[in-house]
Structure 1
Amino acid sequence: MNQKILKLENLRRFHTVCRQLHSLCQRRMLAQWRHVFSSAYPAWTAQLYAHPGQTDVLIRAALSQQRLLATKKEERSQKSQLSSRKSKKEVEVWIGMTVEELARAMEKDIDFIYESLMNTAVDIDSLEADSHLDEVWIKEVIKKSGMKLKWSKLKQDKVRENKDAVKRPQGDPALLIPRSPVVAIMGHVDHGKTTLLDQLRKTQVAAMEVGGITQHIGAFLVSLPSGEKITFLDTPGHAAFSAMRARGAQVTDIIILVVAADDGVMKQTVESIQHAKDAQVPIVLAINKCDKAEANPEKAKKELLAYDVVCEDYGGDVQAVHVSALTGDNMMALTEATVALAEMLELKADPTGPVEGTVIESFTDKGRGPVTTAIIQRGTLKKGSILVAGKSWAKVRLMFDENGKTINEACPSMPVGIIGWRDLPSAGDEILEVESEARAREVVDWRKYEQEQEKSKEDLKLIEEKRKEHQEAHQKAREKYGTLSWKERSFIKYKEKKQQQPLKLKEKVERDSDVLPIIIKGDVDGSLEAILNIMDTYDASHECELELVHFGVGDISENDVNLAETFNGVIYGFNVNASNVIQQSAAKKGVKIKLHKIIYRLIEDVQEELSSRLPCAVEEHIIGNCSLNIPFKHSYLICCKKHLKAKFKGNIFHCLNMFTVPTYILCSRKNNYG
């Protein structure tokens, strides 16, 4: 009975006992527990002391019960915190985020971003929807919203795993076989390079070139009477085709430098020498036009000494051959010198394994699609091969030689035309063979991804520069308006906005006349590249801006006409066609189409169009002068044939109309006229 009463009282006062036990949780001695417990409850503690063993058990049970309750309470608090964390929405952010992008990621209105950034160092007035936010302010907005921050992860897996196609390592020397040399003919414009190639091929290439100027690289395989074969590249000599000459030097084994005996060393001659040095390609000197009466080959040799081209006659190692491409004199000696140099170089290649080559030229054929001219450097190209070049790939459908004849395979040092490209590769791109179409797509996707990454890095740099500019402008504005009152600041901003009103119609017409939008279409990629390089040299944008709207390879299309109409531009075509339907459509829309077959004629046409759009220059020409003895008091001057208006400022007057004919001033004192 006593034990039952004890239990009831214990249950009734359990809450109070727990509080006392909790305050003594650090004490472990049972004697202390008994002392505190007995002093707190003297009425029934004596009964507990009658059974000391039971007292110890009770105290231990109470203590364990208290610990259990504390543990459960802690677990409940942890669960509540965890659930509150899980309930928070995650917002994925990145560096350089704009206000609009942050609002979209948070699924909030833009005004919420502005409200979150109030009372901070951010200038709310200058903050636009496309303004970029710093990392600090992105964190501040997320913190005030009660959401969780999650930085966007970059696709590092693609960066780590390189999926590009690369050249295979050098193979077994025992598998190498002799190959034909690849020879580039270089020199100044109109020094006879193509005519020299005529003599080697016994064809009339020069007669077919418009204006006597080579417009793009021609790759030809020439069989010599001695049985050897040489692949020749006829590179353009015009100043615009510098990039083509550099490409020709990179894929060749020998350079035949053509120098006219009557002209000597010219600008493109020096450039060709530099390309040969950069590519570490040996030179054979062909001094052309020796049949002319004014020819002076020795003078040309001496001029070349200044550019470290030392002929054998002067103790050097460069073979010099005096030739006449027009009459064919000494052509055999030139080929023998080239073959001898090729034997010294011991040119060899591996005809087995995956194909490697270089794109010499690329263009779009109306019936066959994208076509490339290439030089095979390793392996043997066959029909059905899967190729990758730049950011394009191909399954070879058809191959043809320089005469347009279909061939089944192409060996090293052989020029070949390739049909089957999905997109048009650029001239100079490296050609690599891969095992499957899936692998080709993988390589192209990887290269496009790398290009996007490079572009992203450049964009980030621009963003940082713009951010610095905005910060500087903001700092200047704070210095400018910091000491002004709100009313004064508002008035100044109103005046500034009023000055930035949209242009009037007359001002818009004048502004449009100072811009020349152009669209350029070329026959091949190399020619288009040369034209664009010339356009880059334009440096008079402060007078008339040259705006390149679009450029591409192929004939002029309806889209080009529509684009030119939109921008009020001019279409220039180089070695391309515009059908009658396209020309009629352009005439209806008021679009100019200008077609050219010689590059410098196209450049001259662009210069004339730019000149026509330049603003008129106002010039003042003094017709005569005189000295006035009597000051004029009226604003009109009486003349013998015409009335000349004049404004007076003291004793000086300024004419409003200029006379180009002699006039005689009649002086009269009547009515204060002079």
Structure 2
Amino acid sequence: MMAAFMVRTCLKQRSSARIWTDIIRYEQKEIQKQYSHTKMCIECHCYHTTPVYLKVRKTREEKKNRKNFIYKPKEPIKLPVVDIWRNMTVQELSDSCGRSVNEVLQAISYTDNSKYTKNTTIENRNVLYDAVKKLGAKYKVIPRPDENVKDDSVNCDAVRRPPPDSSVTVKRHPVVTIMGHVDHGKTTLLDSLRHTSVVASESGGITQHIGAFNVTLDSGEKITFLDTPGHAAFSAMRARGANATDIVILVVAADDGVMEQTIQSIRMAKEANVPIIVAINKIDKPDADIERTKRMLAEQGIHVESCGGEVPSVNISALKGLNLNELMETVVAQAEIMNLRGDPKGFVEGVVIEVTTEHGRGKLATALIQRGTLRKGSILVSGLAWAKVRAMFDHVGNTISEAKLSDAVQIIGWRELPSAGDLLLEVENERRVNVVLNYRQSQQAKDKAVDALDVIQKKQEEHNLVYKAALMERKALGRTRRIRKGPRTKEIIDDGIPRVNVVIKADVVGSVEAILDVFETYGDENRCRLDVVHYGIGPVTENDVELAEAFDGFIYTFHTSVPKSVELIANKLNVPIHHFKVIYKLIDAIKTEICKKLPPGHQEEKLGEANVLQYFQINERRKKVGVAGCRCISGVLKKNEMYRILRNDEIIYEGKLAAMKHLKEDVNTIKTNIECGLRFQDPDVIVQPGDTIICYTVHEVPASVDWDPGF
């Protein structure tokens, strides 16, 4: 409440007026903070006191409340969102926004004066947008709900065509894969069939990568052969051969019988549901045992016709050409039974057998045509790679104009190399290629995101378990807060384990896969780590050398070359490059490098052995010391070597001697059947008669690595 006070006094009563004014000021301090102002009146020469209201000061409580006051901004008004689509009717808009038809018509009338009914289609999108705004909402454009959503994978991706009608199919020649154990004569059999010599050019007689050959027999029949490696490291390549073939010829040597890779080949052929023809090879050898080989095959579920089974079997000698015609007749008969047919028209479908890079021809892929006819200029897609066919070659390098059904052909013109085993499809044009690749890349990104999410969730769960365990431990100790001392820095922890960094370059993808598969069998990571810095196909490049130099690593090549310019750079940077043509020699070289990184081992060598006959003490410099009276029973005892005392096969002392005497003379060597006195460096050692003393030395030996790659 506000009240005004005025005091009028004469000059004579000035003192009392001043006192009253003070009283007023005192009383008003607690109410309104009112202060009085006194001045003299000019007319009557009296003092007039009038109230003066100043700005009220805030108390401490008001200031405190002001500080604790939280400003809350006004929440924005959220407008409802209405789904709209093209060619929407008034009734549909009414249903979508949840308003009556009349309200919708009134909102439309502000923008369009045309006559609208509830069934009228709103073709003008601006009228539709403005009507939604007039209704106090936002709009979201969506496809019409009743439209059938088409599958993007059908429209965007390239897939195989539906199976052809039998009326358009023609007879095709068979695709035959020759499989079996290493060195059982698979490549020699192909040499005899096509009258060439491939074994002489192969390293150690081992096929290092898959080969595809079109062979025309003397009878005029045409067969496409796939020669797969028999080595254990090339199991993935054998699997690709089994999945792309019509018939499998299983080569088994009559002298060795069924071996490990033979069993794997049988399993792959059964998984691919491919008929098997057994070729028992090397029947001309003296130690050949055909019946034993058939029994071993029966143990693996392969029952040949001569033993009452259903699997055809032919006894051959690939080296001397015995019974090869009979084997080919069996293949042709099996193909007739299978009635192999295909569609020679339309877009090409096939499978990539192998990929490589060649100097002068660039990126090259070997493909097997399964449908259609491939010609120069065709647009191909395989995985995330594509090509416009610039040229095609057969297995001997001759240029061909077209590749028909079941033909194996080498294709150049790839922008990026495909992956061996991928599906090969022809598309209309390059525009279609971009659509397909974009779709596949997006799908791959989605798959990676899903995989990454799974990994993140697993790591998060592991982190939560560790965190909860640590939290419970801190609670048990009465500490629930983590105290951080000093700045948080990221430290690189060196575990002290040596590493061997390698760069792998090979001729084809299959060889790289085989080498990497062998690396997976390395398990001695606690002593030395084996890291693959980079791998690829083709000749060694400058980037490979710089990468190896940065990681202090080695470059290993497999059936590929090194340009002279790159070799000069490698010599300048001191980057070693090792060349290999046989896989087990490459692995042995890596084992050697690993052993160089490891500390040398220690090996004991027993020098002599003695029996304790008596223990006695002697005075030496006024001190009693123990001496073992012994007899050397084998070898020789040397003073400066190591000694071990055994009592009931338990070691009671291991160390060196302080003195060795024969009679009363100091000696350095005691031979067999000579008695001696031995005093050990440890004066507390007490021997007993019957103890055994062994003299030995320790040699340093090169370190070895526990790595069994399976060959």
Normalization by structure 1: what TM-score?
A: 0.69
Alpha carbons of 1:363 and 1:84: their partners in 2 closer, same or farther (altered >3 Å)?
same
Residue of structure 2 equivalent to 1:340: 333
1:306 Cα deviation from its structure 2 partner: 0.9
Matched position secondary structure for 1:578: coil
Residue 511 (str. 1) matches residue 496 (str. 2): yes
| Structure 1 CA distance for aligned equivalents of residues 511 and 433 of structure 2 | 28
Alpha carbons of 1:652 and 1:184: their partners in 2 closer, same or farther (altered >3 Å)?
closer
Residue 260 (str. 1) matches residue 244 (str. 2): no
| Structure 2 CA distance for aligned equivalents of residues 501 and 559 of structure 1 | 30
Residue of structure 2 equivalent to 1:529: 513
Residue of structure 2 equivalent to 1:549: 533
Residue of structure 2 equivalent to 1:379: 372
CA contact (8 A) 1:640 1:665 kept: no
Residue of structure 2 equivalent to 1:99: none
Residue 564 (str. 1) matches residue 555 (str. 2): no
Alignment of 1:423-572 (within 5 A): 423-484=416-477, 511=496, 514-572=498-556
- What amino acid is aligned across from residue 576 of structure 1 in structure 2? T
1:574 Cα deviation from its structure 2 partner: 0.5
What do the CA deviations read for 1:199-246 (whole angstroms, capped 9, x no partner)? 100111111212111111111111111111000111111111101111
Alpha carbons of 1:592 and 1:511: their partners in 2 closer, same or farther (altered >3 Å)?
farther
Residue of structure 1 equivalent to 2:587: 603
Residue of structure 1 equivalent to 2:565: 581
Matched position secondary structure for 2:292: helix
1:366 Cα deviation from its structure 2 partner: 2.2
1:629 Cα deviation from its structure 2 partner: 5.2
1:484 Cα deviation from its structure 2 partner: 4.5
CA contact (8 A) 1:634 1:673 kept: no
Residue of structure 2 equivalent to 1:49: none
1:476 Cα deviation from its structure 2 partner: 2.3
What do the CA deviations read for 1:162-198 (whole angstroms, capped 9, x no partner)? 2221100012211100001000111111011111111
CA contact (8 A) 1:636 1:644 kept: no
- Decide which structure has greater helix share: 1
Residue of structure 2 equivalent to 1:655: 655
Alpha carbons of 1:561 and 1:636: their partners in 2 closer, same or farther (altered >3 Å)?
farther
| Structure 1 CA distance for aligned equivalents of residues 360 and 469 of structure 2 | 62
Matched position secondary structure for 1:175: coil
Alpha carbons of 1:658 and 1:171: their partners in 2 closer, same or farther (altered >3 Å)?
farther
- What amino acid is aligned across from residue 324 of structure 1 in structure 2? S
- What amino acid is aligned across from residue 583 of structure 1 in structure 2? E
Matched position secondary structure for 1:403: coil
| Structure 2 CA distance for aligned equivalents of residues 182 and 561 of structure 1 | 41
Matched position secondary structure for 1:310: coil
Q: Which protein is bigger by CA-based radius of gyration?
A: 2
| Structure 2 CA distance for aligned equivalents of residues 414 and 402 of structure 1 | 10
| Structure 1 CA distance for aligned equivalents of residues 500 and 264 of structure 2 | 32
Alpha carbons of 1:402 and 1:309: their partners in 2 closer, same or farther (altered >3 Å)?
same
Residue 165 (str. 1) matches residue 158 (str. 2): yes
1:673 Cα deviation from its structure 2 partner: 13
1:667 Cα deviation from its structure 2 partner: 5.5
| Structure 2 CA distance for aligned equivalents of residues 360 and 183 of structure 1 | 13
Matched position secondary structure for 1:284: strand
Alpha carbons of 1:198 and 1:640: their partners in 2 closer, same or farther (altered >3 Å)?
closer
1:536 Cα deviation from its structure 2 partner: 1.2
1:630 Cα deviation from its structure 2 partner: 5.2
CA contact (8 A) 1:189 1:213 kept: yes
In the alignment, structure 2 segments of 5+ residues that lack a partner are 1-72, 80-148, 628-636, 645-650, 660-667, 671-675, 687-711
Alpha carbons of 1:83 and 1:642: their partners in 2 closer, same or farther (altered >3 Å)?
closer
Alpha carbons of 1:662 and 1:323: their partners in 2 closer, same or farther (altered >3 Å)?
same
Matched position secondary structure for 1:568: coil
Alpha carbons of 1:485 and 1:332: their partners in 2 closer, same or farther (altered >3 Å)?
closer
1:478 Cα deviation from its structure 2 partner: 1.9
1:641 Cα deviation from its structure 2 partner: 6.3
| Structure 2 CA distance for aligned equivalents of residues 191 and 570 of structure 1 | 34
What do the CA deviations read for 1:133-172 (whole angstroms, capped 9, x no partner)? xxxxxxxxxxxxxxxxxxxxxxxxx996222211000122
CA contact (8 A) 1:256 1:284 kept: yes
Alignment of 1:17-416 (within 5 A): 81=74, 83=76, 161-162=152-153, 163-416=156-409
1:470 Cα deviation from its structure 2 partner: 2.1
| Structure 1 CA distance for aligned equivalents of residues 641 and 164 of structure 2 | 95
| Structure 2 CA distance for aligned equivalents of residues 658 and 341 of structure 1 | 86
Alpha carbons of 1:347 and 1:482: their partners in 2 closer, same or farther (altered >3 Å)?
same
CA contact (8 A) 1:640 1:666 kept: no
CA contact (8 A) 1:393 1:441 kept: no
CA contact (8 A) 2:512 2:537 kept: yes
| Structure 2 CA distance for aligned equivalents of residues 532 and 640 of structure 1 | 51
Residue of structure 1 equivalent to 2:18: none
1:315 Cα deviation from its structure 2 partner: 1.5
1:636 Cα deviation from its structure 2 partner: 14
1:253 Cα deviation from its structure 2 partner: 0.6
- What amino acid is aligned across from residue 191 of structure 1 in structure 2? H
1:662 Cα deviation from its structure 2 partner: 5.0
User: How many residue pairs are counted as aligned between the two chains?
Assistant: 508
Alpha carbons of 1:658 and 1:458: their partners in 2 closer, same or farther (altered >3 Å)?
farther
- Decide which structure has greater strand share: 2
Alpha carbons of 1:643 and 1:83: their partners in 2 closer, same or farther (altered >3 Å)?
closer
- What amino acid is aligned across from residue 534 of structure 2 in structure 1? H
Normalization by structure 2: what TM-score?
A: 0.65
Matched position secondary structure for 2:496: helix
| Structure 2 CA distance for aligned equivalents of residues 236 and 644 of structure 1 | 54
Alpha carbons of 1:645 and 1:244: their partners in 2 closer, same or farther (altered >3 Å)?
closer
Which is worse superposed, 248-257 or 451-460? 451-460
Alpha carbons of 1:363 and 1:488: their partners in 2 closer, same or farther (altered >3 Å)?
closer
Alpha carbons of 1:656 and 1:384: their partners in 2 closer, same or farther (altered >3 Å)?
farther
CA contact (8 A) 1:352 1:380 kept: yes
| Structure 2 CA distance for aligned equivalents of residues 643 and 464 of structure 1 | 60
CA contact (8 A) 1:634 1:672 kept: no
1:455 Cα deviation from its structure 2 partner: 1.5
Residue of structure 1 equivalent to 2:704: none
CA contact (8 A) 2:617 2:626 kept: no
| Structure 2 CA distance for aligned equivalents of residues 314 and 665 of structure 1 | 78
Residue of structure 2 equivalent to 1:139: none
| Structure 1 CA distance for aligned equivalents of residues 680 and 592 of structure 2 | 52
- What amino acid is aligned across from residue 598 of structure 1 in structure 2? V
| Structure 2 CA distance for aligned equivalents of residues 401 and 331 of structure 1 | 24
- Please provide the CA RMSD for this pair: 3.8
Alpha carbons of 1:352 and 1:609: their partners in 2 closer, same or farther (altered >3 Å)?
same
What do the CA deviations read for 1:10-49 (whole angstroms, capped 9, x no partner)? xxxxxxxxxxxxxxxxxxxxxxxxxxxxxxxxxxxxxxxx
Matched position secondary structure for 1:530: helix
| Structure 2 CA distance for aligned equivalents of residues 472 and 159 of structure 1 | 45
- What amino acid is aligned across from residue 496 of structure 2 in structure 1? R
